Amino acid sequence: MNARHLAALLCALIAALGLAGCGGGETRVETGNREQVLHWGNGTEPQELDPHIVTGMPEHYILIALLEGLVLKDPATLEPIPGVAERWEMSADGLVYTFHLRADARWSNGDPVTASDFAWSWQRALTPSLGNSYAYMYFAIRNAEAFATGKLADFGQVGVEVLDERTLRVTLDHPTPYFLQLLDHYSMFPVHRPTLEQYGDPYQRGSTWTRAGHFVGNGPFALDQWELNKVVVVSKSPTYWDAARVKLNAIHYYPVENVSTEERMFRAGQLHITASIPPDKIAVYRKEAPQLLHVEPYLGNYFYRLNTQVPQLADPRVRRALAMSIDREQIVEHVTQGGQQPAYTFTPPDTLGYTAPPGFAYDPEGARQLLAEAGYPNGQGFPPTELLYNTSEGHRKLAVAIQQMWKRELNIEITLNNQDWKVYLDNVDNGHYQIARAGWIGDYVDPNSFLDMWVTDGGNNRTGWGDPRYDALVLQCAPAALEREARYRCFRDAEALLLEAMPVIPIFFSTRNYLRQPGVRGLPANLLGYPLFKQVYLQVGDVQSDD
């Protein structure tokens, strides 16, 4: 190789990398504002776009643009508003819902959306061979659980009835005040039967019906492009019944897993909105660009599970002592720093009008007393106990802080152990832990979403704790109550039992923290982080966000 070859190669390389002609110009966000194209940071690559298979938030944000259920939610109040159903009636006993579908609801290929579409889609969603993790969202419907678990083979006995192509009647097993909310969850969205049948077995995974070019949906947007690990593009659907109100022309969803990369993309004008924000950047934005930072209450909590089968944690006094000696104000102010609320109950405040019973308070003196009563005065004789968390800087910081508080207030030794996510899940699921970090996000805004998980041997309980009185309150008292106040009384009594026994230590209620360009409008804050994309629009120019 001589110098001439070397120079030629170097030139070719620079040209290939496209060094010429870069920098400056309009950013993607500025172009998007002009053209009403929203650039959305969407976390991870969607697993699938099949609403009856997926389980995550990135998929949720795409599916609510592509598909629409019977009912939508008002993003400001989270109250149900008409979707495919233009109106509905509920029987006096709260068991029978009759939905009247609008005449102009259309699939993106022009076919009408009918009651049979819903009945077939729901049957599919419940068919065991599909392996739908969210099948339980249907279990309020009569016999849905029996069908989903294979105990019932005839879908005709499930409480879903097509009265005519524009009328669907749903019969519930028990009154379920949050039933209308569930209809807006993607697991209850309809799918287009002819398309599914064209691209494989509709009752098995592995179909290609969700690819761009194949996908037929009924939402305000249609799927244009799905490039693996790069972008999902949806554009305004001309066949959508409310197309006149859809202001955005397209949404581009970017699967940006790394939060620092996402923040840099936001800063460089490549994203209108991020999925999250690196925790250490919150303080910086709060100081330098507060108009871009959004900190919104979120329907989730952060807590520690206690394995009640472990001898030293079997005594509720010890569990309460551990809970009472954590200074949560310090934690949210100095450790998490993301606007979280200290949690002294399990259910987040004002979950659709429900207020939890008074829980406990930060009381190190009382905690020491309880620990002494349990046989460990000044922590003496308390066996070394391990706190398990999945590997993450945030969980580690919190665990270290709490470890120190327990040492200081109770004089007990807690060791920390971090594990890879799947190993951690396996150990918690099998009860191979003593204290383990956990979080929960409600599927719907109702205390049931936070309290039914603690019934004896519930799949998400995993603490070994159970109390027949609690089970009766959650599984019998609440479902049988017709009045909201009576129902909430059952939940309050149940939660009081839970906090007395303390198989879990609530730490804080979550917030949703993210960055958003000021021109993005029509996205009011709500507990679920739920956007109604047909109301979203982009305003050009220097504006202050006010919603």
Partner 1 sequence: MLRFILHRLLQAIPVLLVVVTATFFLIRLAPGGPFSADKAVAPEVLHALEARYRLDQPLSAQYLSYLGDLLRGDFGPSFRYPGRSVDEMIFTGLPATAELGLYALLISLLLGTAAGVIAALRPNSAQDYVPMSAAMIGICLPSFLLGPLLILVFGIWLDWLPVSGWGNVPGDKLLPALTLAAGYTAYVARLSRGGMLEVLAQDYIRTARAKGLPEWLVVCKHGLRGGLIPVVAFAGPAFAGLLSGSFVVETIFQIPGLGRFYVQAAFNRDYTMIMGTTIFFAVLIVAFNLLADIAAVWLNPRLRQQYRKPAA
Residues that bind partner 1 (CB under 8 A): 1-3, 6, 9-10, 13, 16-24, 45, 47-50, 53, 55, 128-133, 135-136, 148-150, 204-208, 210-211, 227-230, 254, 256-258, 260-261, 264-265, 267-268, 270, 420-427, 429, 439, 458-460, 462
Nearer to partner 1, 203 or 537 (CB): 203
Nearest one of 440, 442, 433, 392 to 414, comparing CA atoms: 433
Residue among 100 and 305 whose Cβ is closer to partner 1: 305
Q: Which of 416, 417, 415, 411 is nearest to 381 (CA)?
A: 411
Least Å distance, CB 420 to partner 1, is 7
C-beta closer to partner 1: residue 6 or 361: 6
Residue 311 vs 459, nearer CB to partner 1? 459
Alpha-carbon separation of residue 139 from 79, 100, 400, 514 (angstroms):
21, 22, 41, 34
Q: How far apart (Å, rounded) are the C-alpha atoms in residues 278 and 515?
A: 10
Closest distance of CB 6 from partner 1, Å: 7
Q: Which is nearer to partner 1, 70 or 233 (CB)?
A: 233
Region of 429 please: left (phi>0), alpha (psi -120 to 50) or beta: alpha
Q: Which is nearer to partner 1, 17 or 244 (CB)?
A: 17
In DSSP terms, 256 is beta-bridged to none
Task: For partner 1, give the closer residue by CB, 59 or 409.
Answer: 59
CA–CA dist 77, 88 (Å, integer): 19
CA distances to 317, 325, 328, 414, 437 from 322, rounded to whole Å, are 9, 6, 12, 11, 14
Give every strand in the sheet of 504-515, ordered side by side.
341-342, 504-515, 293-306, 435-441, 385-390, 414-419
Buried b (16+ CB within 10 A) or exposed e, 65-85: bbbbbbbbbebeebebebbbb
Query: Distance of CA 312 to CAs 259, 315, 430, 505, Å?
Result: 39, 7, 19, 15
Which of residues 17 and 92 has its CB atom nearest to partner 1 in the complex? 17
Q: How far is the CB of 320 from partner 1 (least distance, A)?
A: 26
CB atoms closer than 10 angstroms to residue 29: 23
Q: Among residues 53 and 180, whose Cβ is nearest to partner 1?
A: 53
| Nearest distance in Å: CB 48, partner 1 | 5
Q: Report the C-alpha gap between 483 and 177 in whole angstroms.
A: 10
| Closest CB to partner 1 among residues 177, 442 | 442
CB of 263 to partner 1, least distance (A): 10
CB 222 to partner 1: min, Å: 18
Helix 316-324 / helix 484-501 crossing angle, nearest 10 deg: 100
Q: How far is the CB of 46 from partner 1 (least distance, A)?
A: 8
In whole angstroms, the minimum distance from the beta carbon of 497 to partner 1 comes to 22
The span from the CA of 138 to the CA of 144, in Å, is 6
Q: Is 13 exposed, middle or buried (0-12, 13-18, 19+ CB in 10 A)?
A: exposed
Comparing CB distances to partner 1, the nearer of 127 and 237 is: 127
For residues 325 and 449, which CB has a smaller minimum distance to partner 1 in the complex? Answer: 449
Closest CA to 452 of 98, 114, 174, 146: 174
Nearest to partner 1 of 116, 225 (CB atom) = 225
Q: Which residues contact 29 (CB under 8 A, 6 or more apart)?
A: 39, 269, 270, 271, 272, 517, 519
Give the nearest distance from C-beta 426 to partner 1 in angstroms: 4
Query: Which structure tokens are listed for 498?
Result: 């839970």
Query: Cβ 85 to partner 1, closest distance in Å?
Result: 28
**Whole-number Å distance between alpha carbons of 70 and 68:** 7
- Least separation, in Å, of the C-beta of 279 and partner 1? 17
Q: What is the 3-state secondary structure (H, E, C) of 32-70?
A: HHHHCEEEEECCCCCCCCCCCCCCCHHHHHHHHHHCCCC
Whichever of 47 and 309 has its CB closer to partner 1, that residue is 47
Ranges of H-type helices in 173-332 = 179-182, 193-198, 259-267, 279-288, 316-324, 328-330
Q: How far is the CB of 438 from partner 1 (least distance, A)?
A: 8
Are 185 and 84 in contact, with CB atoms under 8 Å apart? no
CB of 251 to partner 1, least distance (A): 17
CB 312 within 8 A of CB 383: yes
The burial class, CB within 10 Å (0-12 / 13-18 / 19+), for 141 is buried
- Other CB atoms within 10 Å distance of the CB of residue 315: 17
CB of 197 to partner 1, least distance (A): 16
